[in-house]
Structure 1
Amino acid sequence: MARAVDTSPSSSLRQNPWLRRAVPLLVVVVLAVLPLVLTENTNDTLARIGVFAVAVLGLNVVMGYTGQVSLGQIFFVGLGAYVTGYGVQQGWNVVLAFLAACLAAAVAGLVVALAAARLGGLAIAMVTIALPIVGVPLAKRLSDVTGGSQGLSARFAEAPEATGLYDDQWVLYVVLVIGGAVFLLTRALVRGKYGRAFAIVKGNEAVASSMGISPYRYKVLAFTIASLIGGISGFLYMFVIQYTSPETMSFGHSIELLAAMVIGGAGSIIGSLLGGAYYVLVPELTNQVDSSLTALLQGVILLAVLFVLPGGLASLLRRLTRGRRRSGAGSGAAAPPTTPLSTAVSGTSAEEPGKERQGHA
């Protein structure tokens, strides 16, 4: 039976090696030039979008890709910000402050995951909810380190004179480099062996166990990676905003982060970027309409997006791509063979039934 030829743009991109190399190069060139031609306010806005896009990405690792409820991601963002601010005030090198923020968030996430990953459903939700609820009063009480209710400020984002850049340009470049590296590494993770294991654990933990995949191990891994990414987002938050307070890790912000992930698209790299844009831009727009109705308008937007696009904004791109593929496919085309999940995780090819019978004969 004849098989249809995929003439979609994505298929052409995969088949043409020159296009595969040119598109990433074009993206890098655009990102390299962008901070130089935009205004200061626009650079600041893009930098803040990058900060929260990384935070949404971390939440996506544990919820979108692994299917585990986490309502405390904002706690690790705040922890990374506090560690960064404290380190800068103590005269630490920027690199040291970055590593300390990553390590503190990862260790805290690992400790929580070792206990929470054995739970499920409502129980794990309650554990993660406790993080921002406990974090806010704890930050207020540890005033010698956190500045208490007054918060903590640290300025270390001045552009080096040798670069010839303005401060807003330098900040955006740093966010693009660090955030871009986090997105590329996370993309490689979720598209590799660990990502396939995450997907099986998300689908059915009993099936995962029967395939030799430990749900507990991979849930702990996902929580720890998400916490690490949250710490990186906290470092970038302090680098861009240069101020943090107990309000940074409040439970309300945690819910807003969750809404941003859902609207952008759960289990999607592009959705994390869209979620970061939603987190920053939509509150500003609703405040301009009526500051007293900000929460109401954001709720209406959330319901409208989920009603039209249950998979979030990222699903719109997938729908368009599928529509182009269907229009380019022949009506009598045979569907391509599918690969079992067990084969995808193990990386081995399935044996043909005829050959298997011959081997047993």
Structure 2
Amino acid sequence: MARVMTAPASSPSSPSSSWRRRPWVRWATPLLIVAVLAVLPLVGTEFQNETLARIGVFAVAVLGLNVVMGYTGQVSLGQIFFLGFGAYVTAYGVSQDWNIVLVFVLACLLPAAAGLLVALAAARLGGLAIAMVTIALPIVGVPLAKRLNEYTGGSQGLSARFAESPEGSGLYDDQWTLYLVIAIGGVVFLLTHFLVRGKYGRAFAIVKGNENVAASMGISPYRYKVLAFTIASAIGGVSGFLYMLVIQYTSPETMSFGHSIELLAAMVIGGAASIVGSLLGGAFYVLVPQLTNQVDASLTALLQGAILLVVLFVLPGGLASLPRALTRGRRRLRAGRGPAAPPTTPSSTPGSGTAAEQPETERQGHA
């Protein structure tokens, strides 16, 4: 009887996954990121540093929107209002020569308080109802900012400059500003990372998945929606402080509804429920208009919409899902090829067996 020699099945190794599990990689990666961020402002030009600082500002704004929409699943179309609120608080405090630390605290707390009041009334709603409530924020905020001339400067807006580099530091103003954005934004991103990875993040995910299931598990959907909205408002206030740090000017146009839609698009393109997606969303918010303006300023909105459609068609999870999509593509490609044909020995060919392997009757016939 012919014998077939088959190769033993081998499980493909994954060097990349085993490499990530090594202990030194876990602490070396954060150190490498910190080192890059420490050197980045020193090697960039003034234009590059200003662009990176703008990206940091709107990455924080997208992060706040991600907390309430990406991680908790609540519709919010008014995040730009809290950015503008924080910017106005910062500009007014600087113009009154208040302590800058106090200004920063107020720029965080006052938008958070406003967000808490809105959330207490709107968190019991859902779907289009809460969307309409949040839409009203920038729609009401623009004319309100124009009327409060004493605090907002009316239609002319307010300007404030408080980011001059310290004497003796040897840094230019753009370098010092970028360092401040990296430091403040980095802390906000780090705290948000711990928040969404902890018990509150798990509660947010359950509320997002099914509010009835959350209630049956003892998790109050109303409480956690209010909490998420308040945190998102506070992060919006931080982005407003950074906005004044970098842009140094704000007006009622800052909190227009169109900018709120652009923030929403940036979050979707970067990736919902993703820390990295918030960074990518900030980059999209700043860089894409610059690129489209160079192509044709009159087609900026059209080109941005086309980019949005292409990204959502190719990557429904946003740019942050690109590594996962590539991994799935490689797995499907390997699965499509199928297992290799098993090698055979010469004995598997008919009529090529040895005398010892031939049937007994055949040997007797030869005899």
TM-score by structure 2 length?
A: 0.86
Q: 2:48 aligns with which of 35, 38, 42?
A: 42
Superposed displacement of residue 5, structure 1: 8.2
Q: Does 1:94 align with 2:100?
A: yes
Any idea what SS the aligned residue of 1:161 has?
coil
Q: 1:190 to 1:10 in 2, by over 3 A?
A: farther
> Which structure 2 residues correspond to residues 210-225 of structure 1 after superposition, within 5 A?
210-225=216-231
Report the counterpart of residue 274 of structure 2 in structure 1: 268
Q: What is the CA–CA distance in structure 2 between the aligned matches of 1:302 and 1:83, rounded to whole Å?
A: 33
- Could you tell me whether the CA contact under 8 Å between 1:7 and 1:325 is conserved in 2? no
Letter in 2 for 1:192: G
Superposed displacement of residue 19, structure 1: 1.1
Any idea what SS the aligned residue of 2:168 has?
helix
> Which structure 2 residues correspond to residues 1-361 of structure 1 after superposition, within 5 A?
7-13=14-20, 15-322=21-328
Q: What is the CA–CA distance in structure 2 between the aligned matches of 1:64 and 1:4, rounded to whole Å?
A: 37
Superposed displacement of residue 62, structure 1: 0.3
Q: 1:328 to 1:94 in 2, by over 3 A?
A: farther
Any idea what SS the aligned residue of 1:9 has?
helix
Q: 1:77 to 1:18 in 2, by over 3 A?
A: same
Q: What is the CA–CA distance in structure 2 between the aligned matches of 1:93 and 1:221, rounded to whole Å?
A: 29
Report the counterpart of residue 357 of structure 1 in structure 2: none
Map Cα deviations across residues 303-335 of structure 1 (whole Å, 9 max, x no partner). 111111111111102223455688999x99xxx
Letter in 1 for 2:169: T
Letter in 2 for 1:7: S
Superposed displacement of residue 293, structure 1: 1.1
- Could you tell me whether the CA contact under 8 Å between 1:8 and 1:321 is conserved in 2? no
Superposed displacement of residue 196, structure 1: 0.7
Q: 1:195 to 1:6 in 2, by over 3 A?
A: farther
How many residues are aligned here?
329
Any idea what SS the aligned residue of 1:159 has?
coil
Q: What is the CA–CA distance in structure 2 between the aligned matches of 1:126 and 1:120, rounded to whole Å?
A: 10
Q: 1:208 to 1:288 in 2, by over 3 A?
A: same
- CA radius of gyration, larger in: 2
Map Cα deviations across residues 12-71 of structure 1 (whole Å, 9 max, x no partner). 22x211111111101100110010011000000000000000000000000000000000
Map Cα deviations across residues 158-177 of structure 1 (whole Å, 9 max, x no partner). 00013211000000000000
Q: What is the CA–CA distance in structure 2 between the aligned matches of 1:278 and 1:286, rounded to whole Å?
A: 11
Gaps of 5+ in 1: 333-361
Q: 1:130 to 1:10 in 2, by over 3 A?
A: farther
Superposed displacement of residue 6, structure 1: 6.8
Q: What is the CA–CA distance in structure 1 between the aligned matches of 2:31 and 2:148, rounded to whole Å?
A: 47
Q: 1:212 to 1:327 in 2, by over 3 A?
A: farther
- Could you tell me whether the CA contact under 8 Å between 1:53 and 1:274 is conserved in 2? yes
Letter in 2 for 1:215: P
- Could you tell me whether the CA contact under 8 Å between 1:7 and 1:328 is conserved in 2? no
Q: What is the CA–CA distance in structure 1 between the aligned matches of 2:77 and 2:18, rounded to whole Å?
A: 38
- Could you tell me whether the CA contact under 8 Å between 1:286 and 1:298 is conserved in 2? yes
Q: 1:323 to 1:4 in 2, by over 3 A?
A: farther
Map Cα deviations across residues 106-132 of structure 1 (whole Å, 9 max, x no partner). 101100000110000000000000000
| Aligned residues: CA RMSD | 2.0
Report the counterpart of residue 341 of structure 1 in structure 2: none
Letter in 2 for 1:259: A
Q: 1:18 to 1:328 in 2, by over 3 A?
A: farther
Any idea what SS the aligned residue of 2:77 has?
coil
Report the counterpart of residue 338 of structure 1 in structure 2: none
Q: What is the CA–CA distance in structure 1 between the aligned matches of 2:48 and 2:40, rounded to whole Å?
A: 10
Report the counterpart of residue 342 of structure 2 in structure 1: none
